[in-house]
Amino acid sequence: MSIPSMEQRIEKLRERRAKLELGGGADKLEKHRASGKQTARERVESLVDPGSFQETGLFAEHRSVLFGMAGKETPADGVVTGAGSVNGRLVHLASQDFTVLGGSAGELHSSKVAEIMLQSLKTGTPFVFINDSGGARVQEGIDSLSGYGKVFYTNVMLSGAVPQVSLICGPCAGGAAYSPALTDFIIQTLPVFQRISVWFAVMSVSRSVWISRCSAGTNMAVFPGSPMWRSCIHPLV
């Protein structure tokens, strides 16, 4: 048996990378685009300066074996994370991939998000979270909830230290609604706003917190039609 050459190994790596970058697959990507939405990677490309994005965690794989998850491929575990520049300034970001299990957040998915948030804190750069998720991944049970707990904790760690910007680009439920509520800016795309498809659970609790933080000037919601929405969100629909 011959040992693969370095060129063959590199080519295999490129093939694997190209497959993973398709997320849930070409058919799901087309269905996603047909609904009028950009893919997770297209949103990142629309936001950052051309050629500046450096991804981390592309080859991440979950460890769940229950409820049909054994051997199931979840490219990048459903979230694109990394760093890039916006107008020449460094930012760290995460973009949930709805084509991979509905963008649901499993243990590793959330760990990737929390880790890139910590990189934002260490470097003093803004963190941008593009949300498009059905919430926690139920197949992973308590592990997925633990993962989202890490995200919430890191949201609090970043609060007051670096700017946190959340984009609501799909039917965000559960943790995908809670985490944005802990950030400084929330930007919602027009199609999502029209469908009223962000579900804020325990509204009776979060509403009073939301209002008090907004009145204190620590949070701001940007709604369709505003100048900031037109300049920041339109290409990310």
Q: What domains appear along the chain, each with residue ranges and CATH number?
A: 6-236 (3.90.226.10)
pLDDT recorded at residue 59: 92
pLDDT recorded at residue 195: 54
In the predicted structure, residue 14 carries a pLDDT above the cut 90: yes
In the predicted structure, residue 92 carries a pLDDT above the cut 80: yes
pLDDT recorded at residue 171: 82
pLDDT recorded at residue 192: 58
pLDDT recorded at residue 170: 86
Quickly state the pLDDT bin for 212 (edges 50, 70, 90). Answer: very low
In the predicted structure, residue 188 carries a pLDDT above the cut 70: yes
Q: Of all residues in the chain, what percent carry a pLDDT higher than 70?
A: 80
Quickly state the pLDDT bin for 173 (edges 50, 70, 90). Answer: confident
Quickly state the pLDDT bin for 211 (edges 50, 70, 90). Answer: very low
Which two three-digit tokens encode residue 128? Answer: 């941008």
Average pLDDT over residues 197-220: 44
Angle at the Cα of 104 (from 29 to 66), degrees rounded to 5?
Answer: 110
Cα separation values, 96 from 4, 112, 202, Å: 35, 11, 23
Question: What contacts 12, CB < 8 A, 6 or more positions away?
Answer: 4
**Residues 99-138: pLDDT tens digits?**
999 899 999 999 999 999 999 999 999 999 999 998 889 8
Cα separation, 186 vs 168, in Å, equals: 7
Helix (H, G, I), strand (E, B) or coil at 118: helix
Quickly state the pLDDT bin for 199 (edges 50, 70, 90). Answer: very low
In the predicted structure, residue 181 carries a pLDDT above the cut 60: yes
pLDDT recorded at residue 193: 54
The amino acid occupying position 89 is R
CA 61 from centre of chain: 16
Averaged pLDDT of the chain: 83
